[in-house]
Amino acid sequence: MTSTPSGLRDRKRQETRARIERAAAELVLAHGLPGVTVDAISEAAEISPRTFFNYFESKEDAIVGLHGLDETTETIATHLAREEQQNDLVGSTVRLLFEVWGTALPDSSLKEIRMEILRRNPELLERHMAQMGRMMQQLSAAVRTLAGESSADETTTPTDSRPSSPSWSEPVLALCGAAVRLTVKDWIAGGSTESSDVLESRAIALVREAIERLR
């Protein structure tokens, strides 16, 4: 089978993005965050600075692999299609947050480089968290969908694992967001090389423990 034109374009975009991210991370590891410019990253990635800004808003976003809101919206849609029928609201929500944030936890050779960069420059982590804040409306809508919540004029049947009250989605999202943040910060501070799956499981356990304590 031959690739469709759109499929080929998508693959080339992914390859270019990966090249930019690697160039940015390797340069910062070698020269430090203040000493790296967009021009230097572009030169190392063999693109123009104008092309750079088609992928990232800043050098910091390229260093940690922060994707744009449009791409994150696609991530949410893919997650919902895969997990909408799941009965584990906490697990689904934590996995969603890790997928949105997950470009900083790639299962690739960039992982160790980014871990060291984040340890040296912990302020970069806040860029991911700030993006989640900007996307709160989209994330809230996604969690409502995962919770199986209906509109105000409909009636839902409560289940043990899916709260039916519309008020549940916001505190669940807040708890899961706090757990992901704490788990990732501990991961960075401890210099761990654990996989994202392990971090997800730890964050899920933390949320469940908090819910049990609040009962």
Burial of residue 46, with CB atoms counted within 10 A of its CB: 0-12 exposed, 13-18 middle, 19 or more buried: exposed
Burial of residue 158, with CB atoms counted within 10 A of its CB: 0-12 exposed, 13-18 middle, 19 or more buried: exposed
pLDDT at residue 33 greater than cutoff 90: yes
* Residues 144-194 pLDDT 10s: 888 887 543 343 333 444 444 445 788 899 999 999 888 888 887 776 667
Q: What does R_g of the chain's alpha carbons equal in angstroms?
A: 19
Q: For residue 21, name the pLDDT band (cuts at 50, 70, 90).
A: very high
Q: How far, CA to CA in Å, does 44 sit from each of 23, 24, 27, 55, 56?
A: 6, 8, 9, 15, 15
pLDDT at residue 1 greater than cutoff 60: no
* Mean pLDDT across 4-14: 75
| Residues with Cβ within 8 Å of residue 189, at least 6 apart in sequence | 119
Residue 191 contacts residue 105 (beta carbons within 8 Å): no
Query: What is the rounded average pLDDT for all residues in the chain?
Result: 81
Q: How far, CA to CA in Å, does 48 sit from each of 43, 79, 165?
A: 7, 33, 51
pLDDT of residue 37: 97
Identify the DSSP state of 194: -
* Residues 128-150 pLDDT 10s: 777 777 778 888 889 988 888 75
Residue tagged 């199986």 (tokens): 148
Q: For residue 198, name the pLDDT band (cuts at 50, 70, 90).
A: confident
pLDDT of residue 153: 37
pLDDT of residue 6: 61
Higher-pLDDT residue of 189, 105: 189
pTM score: 0.69
